[in-house]
Amino acid sequence: MSGLGTHRTRLRTAVAGLAVVGLPLAGLSALAPAAQAAPVASAGFGVGAHVYWDSMECTGTDNGDDDSGEQPANGATVTRSRSVTSVVTSTGDAADVTNAAASVTGRMRMVVTEGNLSELDLWATGRATATPQKDPSECNVNAQANVEGGAQFTLTRPTWLTATVTGNKQTTAVVQGGGEDRYILGGVGSGGQHTSSQLLPPGQYEVQGHIGWSSNGSGFLDRAGARAKAAAKAMGEGTGRVHVELRPAGSATGRAFGSGKKFLKPGDAVSCATGKVAATFTRKAKQVEKATFLVNGKKRKTVKNPKKGRTVLLPLPATRTNTVKVKLVVDPPGRRGSVTKTVTRSYRACGSV
């Protein structure tokens, strides 16, 4: 039963170097190109509940432990839980007693789509408390509950990584990566949400998320990224989530929508080699009198009386998310006049500024 000065148990997960981490955080950077490597080289997930104290002044009944292991890359959700209670007593003052407890339940899910890592999710609920009988206490007790999970993976094409971290109450949630360049990809503390996106070239990467609570507030972040104090009572609790999405550059952000989609099918992705997206008229095109193509609200092309199978190529700006909207003047059978229908689809950028 070690104390604050010597006891720093970390999660022993499958990813090399993956551990319950403190600030400052490592950043996300490419390690090396590896086009033939598996999409996910390794992945791990673990939870921990611990109580720390000043081992020079005090003794405690339990310092907690971890539960960790590999994370299957098959879309399955893995759940792990840990809890600890401890009574910490000053060796020089029997009345200086602190009751401490920590508990945590975490879940992790990872999805591989078409041979590439596409999603990584962490969800967690936790609580950490420390109640000293004397104030101030010589024992400096700090209870902590933590969840961490991550993966080492290979990208074979330029890919947008978007990370969203969310926490309520006294929850710290961060997402980070490993490499020589060091920076925080995203973090929140004591409640809030933060989203960050980066365009990553092909190569090998690692990314990990961390959600945690501390009874003394250490490691909490405010929205500016600085350390913040916990609530006046010695408690940290709440829920948090780390959500990471990886999507190819130029890919559609969602499905096409609008009543005109049965007349025209916008492409699933931009060709980043040409900077253009295709839109193809369907077999119902014979009902279309005119189609007006708009890119980001500006008219770019007009087609009259299109035939089935005709494809229109639209140039899109390379360094921004783009929305294509098509207004179709349609004369359906049995109607006495034409009607206007629309179809809309948005696309991720092919490059970054």
* Residue 238 burial (CB count, 10 A): 19
Q: Kindly state the helix (H) or strand (E) to which residue 200 belongs, with its residue range.
A: strand 192-200
| CA–CA separation, 160 and 147 (whole Å) | 25
Give the burial class of 163: count Cβ atoms within 10 A of its Cβ; 0-12 exposed, 13-18 middle, 19 or more buried: buried
As a 3-state breakdown, the chain gives helix, strand, coil percent values, each rounded to 5, of 5, 55, 45
Query: Which pTM does this prediction carry?
Result: 0.81
What is the model's pLDDT at position 19? 37
| CA–CA separation, 197 and 320 (whole Å) | 12
Q: What angle do CA 170, 25, 161 make, to 5 degrees?
A: 95
| CA–CA separation, 17 and 181 (whole Å) | 16
| CA–CA separation, 119 and 21 (whole Å) | 22
Query: What stretch(es) of the chain map to CATH 2.60.40?
Result: 259-347
What is the model's pLDDT at position 22? 34
What is the model's pLDDT at position 243? 94
| CA–CA separation, 72 and 70 (whole Å) | 6
| CA–CA separation, 64 and 48 (whole Å) | 8
Q: Positive or negative, the Cα torsion across 143, 149, 150, 151? A: positive
What is the model's pLDDT at position 335? 67
Cα torsion for 333, 334, 337, 342, to the nearest 10°? -50
Assess contact for 228 and 170: CB atoms under 8 A: no
Q: Positive or negative, the Cα torsion across 106, 239, 82, 137? A: positive
Fold of 259-347: Immunoglobulin-like (2.60.40)
Chain centroid offset of residue 89 CA: 40
Question: What are the residues facing 293 on neighbouring strands?
Answer: 301, 326
Per-residue pLDDT of the chain (353 residues; tens, 9 = 90+): 333 222 222 333 333 333 343 323 334 444 444 444 568 888 999 999 999 999 999 999 999 999 999 888 788 999 999 999 999 999 999 999 999 999 999 999 999 988 889 999 999 999 999 999 998 899 999 999 999 999 988 888 899 999 999 998 888 888 886 444 434 466 776 678 888 888 888 888 888 899 999 998 755 443 333 333 333 346 789 999 999 999 999 999 999 999 999 999 999 999 999 999 999 999 999 999 999 999 999 999 999 999 999 999 999 999 999 999 999 999 988 767 889 999 999 999 999 87
Give the burial class of 92: count Cβ atoms within 10 A of its Cβ; 0-12 exposed, 13-18 middle, 19 or more buried: exposed
